[in-house]
Structure 1
Amino acid sequence: MLTVFIGFFIFGFSENIKGPAIPRIQTDFGIDEMQIGTLLSLNSLGYLLACSFTAYLTRKWGAKTVTMLAFGSMAASGILIFASRSFPALSGSYFLMYIGNGMLEIALAILAARIFVGNTGTMMNLSHFFYGLSSTVAPMIASGLMTVSIGGHVLDWRGMYLIMLSLSVIPMIPTLLSRFPGEEEHGGERVPFTQLMRDPAIWLIVLVLSFGVVSEMAVGGWLVNFLEKAYHWNTTNASGMLSAFFLCFTFARLALGPITDKIGFTLSLILFSAFSGICTLIAIAVGESGAFLFAAAGIGIAPIYPTVMALIAKKYRSSSDSAITFIVTLMGVGSVIGNYLIGAITDGIKELVAGGADTGLGLLRGLQAGYAFIGVCALLCAVCSIILYGYLRKRNELL
């Protein structure tokens, strides 16, 4: 349990320190929003690649070894990011970081599915609460570290990544001291992978998770950029709003976990994702005065991932590793496409409105359209959850 909780805590740092860093990276390398979207998409490919082989490595080497390797990859990527002096070098270092993130995500999900056999929704949300907790403070810590001077040298984003990713060494200690449960301790008859692929429910879960995760993860990469460029907020205030999003996000997971067990996983997905999408779109429509709704959207999107993991753990208990790998791998494809589309929509609308000229209105409309896509993804998550609810209800399989 220490490995799961601390692991998610470190995972939150590695995923969400990029928000304040991206504008600095963009300035240092002279890249535009389209290239940022491409960078995040290529990184998601690393995540996707890791998801595709981690379950196999877990069965071959054991979850303990794979978890150690994931933490080690993340620490090594921090060193490489610090040493990067070109955009291709940074892209490669980020790619390695996302390899580690993907391996860690699958390893922790498999471990959690094996040990959280009671009150699954509550325990899954509790474990992901630690992800939200670190995500809440990550943007503020990142912003602060980038201004710290050591020996007359400012850490900037490179030094910040080095320090934050080095924290991955900490959860390696409880991992080494743990005895991880094996598949034989999990019980039940294993469902063949081909049979899983023929289950319509698993494809609906893929869509639910894909739209939900794009809406969740895109906030860390795009909210600070949006607030700085659309509303001319300074980095501290923009990072503060991102932290407010993760504050709502974190305590929603702590508070709403028992509710998912009480009202059912699928109904929870419908209600929470719809709330998040509506908050995001209203925030954009209202303008700067409605910026607090960007943070409020975190309340709705927070329970989506852990609730889907709880649904998988219950529905595919005897084959959770195969189901998690299949679903999360395809979710990774959706994440790649989603990040690319946000950058493409932003640049496309900017060019359309500005007509090729460099105007503030064109940039504003582009940023609004790109960020609106994040809200649309949350609403699509709700729509797919409604379809899943209907399918499971017909088969008397609602969880």
Structure 2
Amino acid sequence: MPVLPELKSLLFLTSIFLLNFMSRIIFGPLMPTIETDFGIDHVYAGSFFLIISLGYFISLIGSGFISCRISHRNTIIISAIGVGGVLMGISLSNNLWQICLSLLFLGLAAGLYLPSGIATLTELVSHEHWGKAIAVHELAPNISFVITPLVAEILLRYLPWKGVLMVIGGISILAGILFALTGRGGRFYGEAPNLLLLKDLFTMPVFWIMVILFSLGISGSLGIYTMLPLFLVVEHGMDRSWANTLIALSRISGIIMSLLSGFINDRFGPKRTLIGVFLITGCFSILLGIISGRWVPFFVFLQPLFAVCFFPPGFAALSSLTPPSSRNVAVSLTVPAAFVIGGGAVPAWIGLSGDLLSFSFGIFSVGIMILSGVLFAYHIKLGRLK
């Protein structure tokens, strides 16, 4: 494992990443309260995540233009303080237009972190520990899935939902300031994106296939997750506190399963692993949209169990399908593009379904969509470009 100074720096960056991710999903457990407060419909609530994902997509693509001028270190600082500042700004907003505009800036601020965070991490940690260091860093999203509903519910006992955002925003600003004062690494500059390489990548059919696969993978985890509180509270009559607690507990297994999926991928290969992930996740998502009564909590636990297993085989397939010259760019573009669909459009669709028909139909239809990933995964030819 990394030595103590490296480990401290790694945990510091992982904490900033956790706050970064939490800032983007905190609106899920807060959404029943926000809907009541503003009297908005479900599709408007779902569009919150679409707006955040659009800002995230733009920022992640353009982050190189920032880091090439102010260094990775300063980019991380700006991202952490910016995320906190926007959350505090939302807590002071009095109308929906201000909130929606702030959500776009939240995505813009959050998207700056990841490229600079990874670059700083690989500078601080010796090469032989890169795999373990990145694995620790990538635990932040799964841990965030678990603790965000719990943090929201605990704070909601004492504060309004705007107060919850104020607290998380303040912690993010503090983390940015502490990194500026004591954080190590990142004192070098990034590279601006190669526009010619981007053009070549966008003309590759395999790139768009991987965007579809990653969109379906993110739909099964983040897309459904963000709308589960509304689904459980509005459609199944659960108490908000119990719904958020149930969702948090259901995500604990993801921390272990995401690590286990790496071993499964090495044993069976990315293609067969992806087929299995889409088949099982799609079926469980469909059943979550169909069942009712005492079976609901059971499938709330089952649905994300294999959804989190997508990413190790997904990245392995992406690495095999793209040439070395464009591999890093392919990764940096595939994920944010898929995030717009899986983490933005899918929650908006579930919200729209909740208004027009039912949340159950929305989740059912997303399950059908995820199940179609079996066909896309079956037809990819690893190691061969077309």
CA distance in 2, matches of 1:31, 1:250: 34
Quote the residue 2:301 is aligned against.
Answer: 295
Partner secondary structure for residue 288 of structure 1: coil
Quote the residue 1:165 is aligned against.
Answer: 169
CA distance in 1, matches of 2:96, 2:184: 39
Conservation of the 8 A alpha-carbon contact between 1:55 and 1:325? no
Deviation per CA, 1:17-46: give whole Å up to 9, x if none: 222211111111111112112333222222
Is 103-112 or 57-66 further displaced after alignment? 103-112
Percent identity, aligned pairs only, is: 18
Aligned match of 1:340 in 327, 331, 348? Answer: 348
Quote the residue 1:279 is aligned against.
Answer: 284
What's the offset of the Cα at 1:65?
Answer: 2.4
What are the ranges of 5 or more consecutive residues in structure 2 without an aligned counterpart?
A: 1-9
Is 86-95 or 4-13 further displaced after alignment? 4-13
CA distance in 2, matches of 1:29, 1:16: 19
Aligned match of 1:48 in 44, 57, 65? Answer: 57
Conservation of the 8 A alpha-carbon contact between 1:14 and 1:164? yes
The aligned length equals: 369
Q: Does 1:386 align with 2:359?
A: no
Conservation of the 8 A alpha-carbon contact between 1:125 and 1:257? no
Partner secondary structure for residue 294 of structure 2: helix
Q: Which amino acid aligns with 1:51?
A: L
Q: Which amino acid aligns with 1:235?
A: R
Quote the residue 2:16 is aligned against.
Answer: 7
Conservation of the 8 A alpha-carbon contact between 1:130 and 1:250? no
CA distance in 2, matches of 1:275, 1:305: 15
CA distance in 2, matches of 1:84, 1:119: 44
The CA RMSD measured in Å over matched residues stands at 3.3
TM-score (norm 1): 0.80
Aligned match of 2:337 in 330, 333, 349? Answer: 330
What's the offset of the Cα at 1:306?
Answer: 5.1
Deviation per CA, 1:200-249: give whole Å up to 9, x if none: 33222111111211232223321111111111110111111210232122
CA distance in 1, matches of 2:315, 2:187: 18
1:112-127 equivalences in 2 (<5 Å): 124-127=134-137
CA distance in 2, matches of 1:165, 1:304: 30
Q: Does 1:237 align with 2:227?
A: no
Mark the CA change 1:345 to 1:184 in structure 2 (over 3 Å): closer, same or farther. closer
Aligned match of 1:260 in 258, 265, 268? Answer: 265
Q: Does 1:74 align with 2:80?
A: no
Q: Does 1:368 align with 2:360?
A: yes
Conservation of the 8 A alpha-carbon contact between 1:208 and 1:385? yes
What are the ranges of 5 or more consecutive residues in structure 1 without an aligned counterpart?
A: 149-154, 350-365
Conservation of the 8 A alpha-carbon contact between 2:47 and 2:347? yes
CA distance in 1, matches of 2:164, 2:275: 38
What's the offset of the Cα at 1:396?
Answer: 9.3
CA distance in 1, matches of 2:289, 2:345: 22
What's the offset of the Cα at 1:181?
Answer: 8.9
CA distance in 1, matches of 2:190, 2:110: 26
Q: Which amino acid aligns with 1:131?
A: P
